[in-house]
Amino acid sequence: MRYIVTALFLFFSFFVVQAQQDSTKAATLKEKLQTADSIATAQDTTKKDTTKKEETRKERRERERAQKERDKYYYKGIKKDSARLAIEHVSRVAWKRSLMVPGWGQYTNGGLWWVKVPIIYGGLVTGYLVFDYWQWYYKKFLDELAFRVETNGQEGSRDPDLQFYSTQGLVTQKDYARRNRDLTILITVGFWGLNAIEAYVDSMLKNRWNIGSAITMKVGPTFVPSYGFSGNSVLGGYGMAPGIKLTMNIK
């Protein structure tokens, strides 16, 4: 009887231990599944967020592109009419043409282009001549300086015009010529840009605003204050001098 009870006890103990192990395994498996589900959910969320961000960036680019396209046809929320768009197109064409070929924009605008174009090309030609002079001046002193450095000053001067210059004097004049040459280039480029600006401004004034064509001028005699010494003046040395007054009215 004792052996039977012991056997039954061991049998039930085995099943209890096995049940506990199965419960532990089930709990561990459940935890693993929950962890895997959490990781999968997080990955799905991240993937969705990434997709959403990519879509947002794409939508933002499209919106910005559409906004830029819209701004071409609207001004402060007001839609531009065909006349305004045509005027803006003419203004853009004018300055772009002058930037490519000086005077072309002035010719496009009409008016006094036959006066402006010679002035523009006269300024550019003058800039080239001034540049050419300073380039010659710079090379003259540079070559002399290079000759003296190569010969160590033992063969005198190669250029008779510069034989009385010292080495430091040659360096000073060379730097002076180079500075003026570079300054001439900058001024000429600025003049070229000014030609494009003038074409744009002239087109704006001519097409967008009516500055009037009826200009009246009146010339007449007048008296202006004279602050020189005048012994006969009752104002103690201050008197009036005759002059000419020019009155201009723009309607």
Give pLDDT tens digits along the chain (251 positions): 555 545 545 544 554 455 455 555 545 545 654 555 565 565 556 555 554 556 687 788 887 877 776 666 666 666 666 766 777 778 889 999 999 999 999 999 988 899 999 999 999 999 999 999 999 999 999 999 988 888 886 767 788 888 888 889 999 999 999 999 999 999 999 999 999 999 999 988 887 765 555 566 677 777 777 665 544 544 445 567 777 777 777 65
Quote the pLDDT of residue 227. Answer: 60
User: Could you write out the three-class secondary structure of the chain?
Assistant: CHHHHHHHHHHHHHHHHHHHHHHHHHHHHHHHHHHHHHHHHHHHHHHHHHHHHHHHHHHHHHHHHHHHHHHCCEECCEECCHHHHHHHHHHHHHHHHHHHCCCHHHHHHCCCHHHHHHHHHHHHHHHHHHHHHHHHHHHHHHHHHHHHHHHCCCCCCCCHHHCCCCHHHHHHHHHHHHHHHHHHHHHHHHHHHHHHHHHHHHHHHHHCCCCCCCEEEEEEEEEEEECCCCCCCCCCCCEEEEEEEEEEEEC
pLDDT of residue 220: 73
Please report the pLDDT score of residue 139 as a whole number: 94
Looking at residue 7, its pLDDT comes to 54
Which pLDDT score, from 0 to 100, does residue 53 have? 54
Could you report the per-residue pLDDT of 188-232, keeping only the tens digit for each?
999 999 999 999 999 888 877 655 555 666 777 777 776 655 445
pLDDT attached to residue 61:
81
pLDDT at position 177 is 95
Domain spans, the chain: 1-71, 98-211, 217-250
